[in-house]
Structure 1
Amino acid sequence: MFFKSFFDENLAQMSYMVGCQRTGEALVIDPARDLSPYFETAEKEGFTITKAAETHIHADFLSGAREIAHQADDVKLYLSAEGDEDWKYQYLDEVNHELVKDKDRFYVGNVRLDVMHTPGHTPESVSFLLTDEGGGSEVPMGVFTGDFVFVGDVGRPDLLEKSAGAEGTSESSAKQMYESIQRFKELPDYVQVWPGHGAGSACGKSLGAVPSSTVGYEKINNWALKTEAENNFVDELLEGQPEPPKYFAMMKKLNKEGPALLPNDDVKRLSVEQLKSENDEQTIIIDTRSSSDFSDGHLEGTINIPFNKSFANWAGWIIEYDQDIIVIADKDNLIHVKEALESIGLDRLVGFVESDEVENQKDLETYTSITADELEETYRDHDDYVVVDVRNQSEWDEGHMPGVHHIMLGKLKDSLDDIPEGKTPIVHCKSGARSAIGASILQAYGYKNVLNLKGGFMAWAEKNEPVTS
């Protein structure tokens, strides 16, 4: 048997390839939209991808299931038939597929996959228990759990309510998760656990950084598997879940209806003059340079989302799906920026401007960063300034500056009316990275004298006492 995992660090998303070396067939579990890693691996190892399977309708990335069924000949999709009518795949008439339910099984070559219905994260969620019959085994080797069980955590049950608008489902989903876990705990301790995400995903609140585990290890160390009483489990699971990114709602919709096939158009290179002429309300310009380069000089009206592991997440919060997108980026990074946008369905990238061309312009906008000492000595008691905390709710609850406004970064663009009129914003987050994005948003929407707190809340809290009320 052949086994390989793939990790998208931008979304903390795991996918897998399983191959039968006797028959040359391969299966991809929870494929990402960029299929090149799977095809490259298959070619290198001498496999033909004949099947793909999904654990559930994803909310955090755009699935590659429909894409792989169109790109590769005779690929068959194995998709969940569990859950209610609201969560059924709607593109099945155009792909070769088989709907699977609890206790069904299918093969890739001589490798067997048994289906377990494991609702809780979503009603249709399934897990796939793998047994290598071709290698002579009669017992399972591991289980692909999707967003059901992670290393150190379990999937959040509140996304249907918070992202898909299914009111009142969080508690009932948490109870389903409890029942699914009782069944999971009956698996042999030696069974390996191959989850759909690692640390950094918003699909749980305390995911571990280790990519895999075992059932036995999780029974000893995972809080969710150690909590015996259902009511205690439900309360702890629902408490403190992070704010789901804005784009999650769109991912649920697109993955259910059928993601668009990837566009093949080249991205048009633009001059700064062309960019200015194409800048309108239906176009958003994202500058992917570092926050320090952006603050030193940028084009008016541009928003800074540095290209790093957090790029896709913040792009999903800030960019609307009906907007055309122009990016300012290094040419060598452009393909990776495009892939990151496409991974969450932001396909309307119509042009790019090279970073060097922007840096060579005159009369660029800038913004200033101030220290925590300057904040206290000069600005905090000044009526012309207002401090805006853009951290998450859980961070705010743990401690914040007194007398400041809290607007989570992802909601800042839509919450400008919450900033007192006529005041200059001073933006801060935990360390200064998110607030730099926030400063660029505010400046793009007219707050030209915005200030950013260097070192963020951590720098301020070294010498000052936070409040929690």
Structure 2
Amino acid sequence: MLLHRLYDDDLAQASYLIGCPDVGVALVVDPHRDVQAYLDLARQHSLRITHVTETHLHADLLSGARELSARAHAELHLSAEGGPDWTPTYPHTPLHHGDTLHVGYVRVQALHTPGHTPEHLSFLITDRHGDTALLTGDFVFVGDVGRPDLLDEAAGGHDTRFTGARQLFGALRDHFLPLPPGTPIWPGHGAGSACGKALGTQPSSTVGAETQRAWWAPYVARNDEDGFTRTLLADQPDAPAYFARMKRDNRAGPPLTPSTPLPALPASAVLDGLLIDTRPRGAYHAGSLPNALHLPDGPHLETWAAWLIDPDADPRPLVLLARDAAHAHALRARLWRVGLDRVAGYVTDLHGLPTRPYPPLPPGALPHDAALLDVRTTAEHAAGHLPGALLRPAAHLTRDLQTLPRDTPVTVYCQSGARSAAAASLLRTRGFADVRELAGGYAAWTAAHP
């Protein structure tokens, strides 16, 4: 059995290729939307992708399962365990608890492990030599379990978190603990994901290691469902607003991505769209456009783009500021992963356009008449904030724009100045006339005010 993990550091998301080299076939679990990576990997190992599946309807990324199934001419198997509201509406073969897929000599058994979502499946993989692995998706992470409150936080649910917590407790007791302690587990996320609160940095673990070290294990061992539920639901991180859009679009079926090259556009096209300024922060501050969203090409591009671009509310085409065609293509593929498909083309510079500088304010020069906007997380704000600051986490900002004052200047800050530059640029693209940023963020302000 070949087990290969593909990891998106930005979204902290793992997908897996499970291959049977003896027969030359493979299964892919939880593919992201830039599916060429899986086709290339299969080709490198002389494998043909014959099956595609998912652990659940994702909230943090747009699924590539439909796309990969079409491109590879592979069978698509998806959970039928969550009821009609959690069943994809596009063609697929339904999977139920106990169903088995045979990928060459590799046996893949579906286990219904609800809680994070109602339809969630884990996959117990066994080859003909007896080697096993459990792909846990968002059921069990290294050191944590999947949060059950996302339906309430991001999808309009009402107190579904308590039902989800009880389901999760039962799945741990009935399907996880009975497995042999040495069974390797390979989860769907690592540290940095918003799908849990205490995810470890290691890519994998074992059933035995988790039952000995994870925070939840003592609660399940003593059958303390109430204590488990209280601890699980406490102090979960902010759920990004875009999660609701991902759930909706993943159920409906993501459209297939275009195969046409991304065109270079004339400078005038920039003024009619939403410019994605991917340069470093200093270059953006030195000169950009009011309709430019500052999303630097770095480790958070996908996450911040999903936070700050709402294609339902803002119909403008996206224009990428990129170094060249290859860079633009790579940027577009990253945006695909969070369902941002409306990319019209790219430009390589802003020469001849009416740019203006956006210098940040030094910590000692905060205007007294400005509204202070804290775009950090709820936990960061609770640990300390500027006096009188409004808390509007960047992950919720597109949803909360209508709550912000438009008749006064706004000064935006985060912890170090990176998120605030992106957030301030969003306000400018949405017509806020007087927006500044705090240079160095809260860290610089506290250093200047010991």
**TM-score, scaled to structure 1:** 0.89
SS of residue matched to 1:69: helix
Cross-structure match for 1:185: 177
Superposition deviation, residue 446 in structure 1: 4.2
Residue of structure 2 in register with 1:158 after alignment: 149
Whole-Å separation in 1 of the counterparts to 2:235 and 2:449: 26
For residues 398 and 122 of structure 2, the distance between their equivalents in structure 1, rounded to whole angstroms, comes to 38
Tell me if 1:451 matches 2:436: yes
Residue type of the alignment partner of 1:364 = T
Distance 1:105 1:273 in 2: 55
Alignment correspondent of 2:299: 309
Q: Select the residue among 386, 392, 398 that pairs with 1:401.
A: 386
Residue 298 to residue 109, structure 1, CA distance change in 2 (3 Å)? same
State which of 294, 309, 334 in structure 2 corresponds to 1:319: 309
Asked whether the equivalents of residues 321 and 347 of structure 2 are also in contact (C-alpha less than 8 Å), the reply is yes
Which residue of 1 is the match for residue 55 of structure 2?
55
1:13-71 residue CA offsets vs partner (Å, 9 max, x unmatched): 11111111211111111111111111111111111111112111111111121112211
Q: 2:275 aligned with 1:285, yes or no?
A: yes
Q: Which residue of 2 aligns with 1:271?
A: 266
Letter in 2 for 1:286: I
Query: Which AA in structure 2 matches 1:235?
Result: R
Q: Which residue of 2 aligns with 1:19?
A: 19
Match of 2:356 in 1: 365
Cα distance, 1:114 vs structure 2: 1.8
Distance (Å, rounded) in 1 between the aligned partners of 2:142 and 2:109: 21
Supply the distance in 2 between the matched residues of 1:185 and 1:464 (Cα, whole angstroms). Answer: 52
More divergent stretch after superposition (401-410 vs 124-133)? 401-410
**Deviation of 1:389 (Å):** 0.9
**Amino acid of the structure 2 residue aligned with 1:424:** P
Distance of 1:71 and 1:459 partners within structure 2: 50
Residues 155-194 of structure 1 show CA distances to partners (whole Å, capped at 9, x for unaligned) of 1111222222232211110111111111212211101110
Q: Kindly indicate whether the alpha-carbon contact (under 8 Å) linking 1:295 and 1:368 is maintained by their aligned counterparts in 2.
A: yes
Deviation at 1:257, TM superposition (A): 1.7
Change (3 A) 1:406 1:225: same
Question: How far did 1:449 drift?
Answer: 4.5
Query: Is 1:41 paired with 2:26?
Result: no
Whole-Å Cα distance in 2 between the matches of residues 119 and 57 of structure 1?
A: 12
SS state at 1:39 partner:
helix
Q: How does 1:46-125 map to 2 (within 5 A)?
A: 46-73=46-73, 75-92=74-91, 95=92, 97=93, 99-125=94-120
One-letter code aligned to 2:229: V
Q: Is the counterpart of residue 219 in structure 1 residue 214 in structure 2?
A: no
Q: Is the 8 A contact 1:284 1:319 kept in 2?
A: no
Q: Say if 2:285 is the partner of 1:298.
A: no
SS at match of 1:289: coil
- Counterpart of 1:241? 236
Partner residue in 1 for 2:159: 168
Do the aligned partners of 1:413 and 1:442 also contact (CA within 8 Å) in 2?
A: no
| Stretch moving more, 440-449 or 258-267 | 440-449
- The structural deviation recorded for 1:413 is 4.4
The residue type equivalent to 2:338 in the other structure is: I
Pair 1:72–1:204, CA change in 2 (3 A): same
Residue 445 (structure 2) aligns with = 460
Where do 1:139-150 residues align within 5 Å?
A: 141-150=132-141
Gaps in structure 1 of 5+ consecutive residues: none
Q: How many residues align?
A: 442
1:368 touches 1:450 (CA, 8 Å); kept in 2? no
Check the 8 A contact 1:185/1:225 in 2, yes or no.
Answer: no
Residues 113, 168 of structure 2: 8 Å contact kept: yes
Hey, what does 1:258 align to over in structure 2? 253
Counting aligned pairs with the same residue, the percent is 40
What is the Cα deviation at residue 462 of structure 1? 3.5
Distance across 1 between alignment mates of 2:288 and 2:146: 40
Measure, in 2, the Cα distance between the counterparts of 1:433 and 1:23.
49
User: Match for 1:292: what amino acid?
Assistant: G
Amino acid at match of 1:52: V
Which residue of structure 1 aligns with residue 343 of structure 2?
349
**What is the CA distance between 1:224 and its match in structure 2?**
2.0
Structure 2 counterpart of 1:149, one-letter code: V
Decide whether aligned partners of structure 1 residues 254 and 401 sit closer, same or farther in structure 2, where only a CA change above 3 A counts. same
Task: Tell me how far apart the structure 1 counterparts of residues 398 and 32 of structure 2 sit (CA, whole Å).
Answer: 29
- Change in Cα spacing, 1:438 to 1:112, as seen in structure 2 (3 Å) is same
| SS of aligned partner of 2:88 | coil
Residue in structure 2 matched with residue 30 of structure 1 by the alignment = 30
Distance 1:421 1:346, change over 3 A: closer
- Does the CA contact (< 8 Å) of 1:302 and 1:444 recur in 2? yes
- Cα distance change on mapping 1:351 and 1:77 into 2, 3 Å: same
In structure 2, distance between residues paired with 1:157 and 1:386: 35
Distance (whole Å) between structure 2 residues aligned to residue 204 and residue 436 of structure 1 = 27
